[in-house]
Each structure stands twice: as C-alpha cells, then as structure tokens.
C-alpha cells in the first residue's frame, strides 16, 4: 500500500473537516449588522448592504421582528441584523481536492414593463407552470380613481394599484406562470418612491386607449379578459383585480377580498389569499387583530361579467393616514404583492374544486 498516499488522504480529510468546522463557526458567530438612517426602509437598507431585498425580505423581518414598528418599519438609529447567504463548503472542498465542478448558471428573463431597476426576473420555482393569470389594476388612463393628499402632494389610486400589480406579476412570473398585465404603463415600471407621480398614459392590453366613460372602461376590461380566456381555454386561469378604497378619512380598513357568489374556485382563491394574510398578521403583528374578510360581491361589474374564477382585492383606504402608510411605502407594497402571491400559490396547490364558471 502507498502509505504516502494514505497519509495525504487522511490529511486532506482532516483539512476538509477543519475548514468545514471553521466555516460553520464563522457563519454562527459572525452576524452582519447595520444602523438604520433616517429615511431608510427595509428594501433600501438591504440594497445598500448588497443583499437582494426581494429574496431576503422575509428573512430580515424574522430576524428583526422585535425591533420593527408595526412589524415592518425601521427605527432610525437602531441596529439591525442583515441576513447573509451561507458559504458554499462544497466549492471549498472541491478546490482542495482539485476537482472541477460544473456550476449551473441561473438565467433570468427581462421584462421592460417592470422598469430598468426591476426588469430582470429570476426563476424561483415552476410551481405555477401552466397556470395563466390576468392582472387588472383599478382605474388608469383618464380616470385616476380615488384621490388624496399627502405631504402637500396629490396621490392617486391607479398609480399605487398599478405598482402593487406589477410587483405581483413579477412574483408570479418567477414561479413559472403566464401573466397578462391588462392595464399597462410602459413608462412607469416598479417604483420605489413614496409619492408616485400621476400621469394619464396608461393603456389597456395590448395597446388600447382607455375610455373616459366608466361603463365603457369596465366593458373594455371585461372583453379583453374574456377574449384571452377563450384563447387559453382548457388551461388553469385566474383573474386578480387590485383596487384601493376611498372611504371616509377616519376609516382605517384591512385588506378585503371579493368573489362571485356562484364561483367555487373564485371563493377558494379569495379564501386562500385571505388565510395567507391572517397567517402573516399573526406572525408579524401578533398584537393586532386582522379584520379583513373574503365575501361574495357579485354587484361589482368585473366580478359579475368576467369568465375566469377571480378575486377582487381592496388593499386599504387611500384617504386614511394609517392606510396611507401601507400604500405609500414601497416595502409595504412589496409585502402586499408577496403575500398575495403566496395566497395564489396556496390556491394553485389546493387544486380546482368543480368546474370553472
């Protein structure tokens, strides 16, 4: 037997174990922290630390839950822990053994509609492969929807509903879904500002001028969705409509979900997202009761007239100061989109119950 080879093999094994122990100790004992500055949000803080804010958003919240206002907002001057990726011990071992290892490159796809800073969509899973989703954000074009004032500037429902819808579209695409964004603004993209500038250049898919008349506007959306539904007949199809409410100034509301009274699949979709929100509130805001509901609301035009099973979502009251925080802060809009997408994933996992209406 070649004892020199045996000795080298034992030493290599010892060295690998030692390195593994060192890496493990380092990862356990070393935690990156940063002090939040005035104006920082979770997304901007992670981005400044070179951490993907969308991949590690939930990790950050879990690590810092006791140091967040309303379980989502930073306090200036406080220290926060930053999630870090684990070191790849396999690559270290392979380099010691001088073996080559094929590293699979993750390739994403660019979608210009999300804007320059957000256009790249990296694959997360194929859980929604084969599923088709139609996303409609409320109002748009000549109709800005509900209006309010914040910091002396006007804010409009359609801009914030659209931003949440784009973020939701990106989440669904990352899981392999086919997504149709019905109301579109090629100039806006996903925006990380609190005050979203108002414009009126939105169009309806693929590039139709949005009518001023309310009934004509709603009928246009119904026709677009129903025509696409026929084109994709036989596939798993769902419709998500996103609005922001405009109740009295003093009325603070949670996120509500509506469905068609006769649609079992629509009810299941609304219920799945509702359950996800209940779970998230329980985890991130344990001292606050979630009062949002899911219920039938067939009187709503889009709920009544569209063919795919659907849910109609109202994410808050744009005129209420507490709800404005939920809507205006980009971290909150991202969280809303993320939670809605998780509810959609839950709905798809549960599968269909009965025929689509």
Structure tokens at 189: 């993209």
What is the C-alpha to C-alpha distance for residues 283 and 22, in angstroms, rounded to an integer? 34
What is the C-alpha to C-alpha distance for residues 77 and 163, in angstroms, rounded to an integer? 29
Given CA atoms 164, 169, 174, 176 in this order, what sign does their dihedral have?
positive
What confidence score (pLDDT) does residue 105 get? 59
What confidence score (pLDDT) does residue 57 get? 82
270, part of any domain: yes
Kindly report the pTM of this predicted structure: 0.77
pLDDT tens for residues 221-245?
Answer: 999 999 999 999 999 999 999 999 8
Instruction: Assess whether 129 and 85 both reside in one domain.
Output: no
What confidence score (pLDDT) does residue 30 get? 61
What is the C-alpha to C-alpha distance for residues 294 and 218, in angstroms, rounded to an integer? 22
Domain count, the chain: 2
Q: Where are the alpha helices (DSSP H) in the chain?
A: 3-29, 42-48, 57-64, 89-96, 157-174, 214-231, 264-284, 301-305, 321-328, 330-350
Domain CATH for 167:
3.40.630.40
Instruction: Assess whether 139 and 60 both reside in one domain.
Output: no
Q: Which residues of the chain have a pLDDT value below 70?
A: 1-30, 70-71, 85-106, 246-252, 352-357
81, part of any domain: yes
Instruction: Assess whether 224 and 270 both reside in one domain.
Output: yes
Instruction: Assess whether 21 and 149 both reside in one domain.
Output: no
What confidence score (pLDDT) does residue 18 get? 46
52, part of any domain: yes
What confidence score (pLDDT) does residue 84 get? 80
104, part of any domain: no
Instruction: Assess whether 92 and 226 both reside in one domain.
Output: no
Instruction: Assess whether 245 and 131 both reside in one domain.
Output: yes
134, part of any domain: yes
What confidence score (pLDDT) does residue 69 get? 77
355, part of any domain: no
Of 96, 124, 156, the domain-final residue: 96
Instruction: Assess whether 32 and 70 both reside in one domain.
Output: yes
Instruction: Assess whether 59 and 127 both reside in one domain.
Output: no
CA 329, chain centre distance (Å): 14
pLDDT tens for residues 159-176?
Answer: 999 999 999 999 999 999
What confidence score (pLDDT) does residue 322 get? 82
Instruction: Assess whether 49 and 149 both reside in one domain.
Output: no
Instruction: Assess whether 162 and 236 both reside in one domain.
Output: yes
Instruction: Assess whether 219 and 318 both reside in one domain.
Output: yes
Instruction: Assess whether 146 and 42 both reside in one domain.
Output: no
122, part of any domain: yes
Of 71, 96, 121, the domain-final residue: 96
Which domain covers residue 164, as residue numbers?
109-350
23, part of any domain: yes
Of 96, 129, 146, the domain-final residue: 96
What confidence score (pLDDT) does residue 328 get? 94
């Amino acid at each position: 037997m070649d004892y020199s080879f045996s000795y080298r093999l034992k030493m290599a094994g010892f060295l690998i174990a030692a390195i593994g122990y060192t890496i493990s100790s380092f990862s356990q004992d070393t935690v990156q922290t940063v002090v939040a500055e005035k104006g920082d949000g979770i997304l901007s803080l992670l981005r400044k630390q070179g951490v993907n804010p969308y991949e590690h958003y939930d990790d950050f919240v879990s690590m810092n839950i006791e140091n967040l206002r309303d379980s989502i907002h930073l306090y200036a001057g406080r220290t926060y822990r930053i999630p870090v990726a684990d070191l790849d011990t396999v690559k270290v071992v392979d380099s010691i053994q001088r073996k080559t290892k094929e590293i699979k490159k993750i390739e994403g796809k660019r979608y210009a509609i999300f804007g320059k800073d957000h256009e790249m969509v990296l694959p997360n899973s194929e859980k929604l492969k084969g599923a088709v989703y139609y996303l409609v954000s409320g109002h748009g074009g000549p109709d800005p929807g509900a209006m309010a004032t914040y910091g002396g500037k006007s804010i409009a429902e359609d801009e914030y509903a659209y931003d949440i819808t784009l973020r939701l579209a990106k989440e669904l695409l990352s899981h392999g879904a086919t997504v149709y964004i019905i109301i579109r603004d090629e100039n806006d993209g996903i925006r990380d500002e609190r005050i979203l500038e108002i414009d009126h250049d939105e169009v309806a898919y693929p590039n139709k001028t949005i009518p001023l008349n309310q009934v004509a506007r709603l009928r246009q959306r119904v026709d677009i969705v129903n025509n696409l539904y026929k084109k994709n007949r036989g596939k798993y199809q769902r419709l998500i409509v996103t609005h922001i409410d405009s109740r009295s100034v003093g009325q603070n509301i949670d996120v509500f979900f509506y469905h068609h009274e006769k649609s079992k699949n629509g009810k299941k979709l609304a219920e799945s997202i509702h359950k996800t929100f209940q779970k998230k509130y329980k985890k991130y805001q344990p001292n606050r009761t979630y009062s949002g509901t899911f219920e039938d609301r067939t009187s709503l035009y889009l709920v009544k007239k569209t063919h795919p099973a659907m849910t109609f979502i109202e994410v808050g009251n744009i005129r209420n100061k507490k709800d404005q925080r939920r809507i205006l802060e980009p971290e909150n809009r991202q969280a809303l989109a993320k939670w809605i997408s998780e509810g959609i994933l839950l709905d798809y996992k549960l599968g269909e119950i009965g025929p689509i209406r």
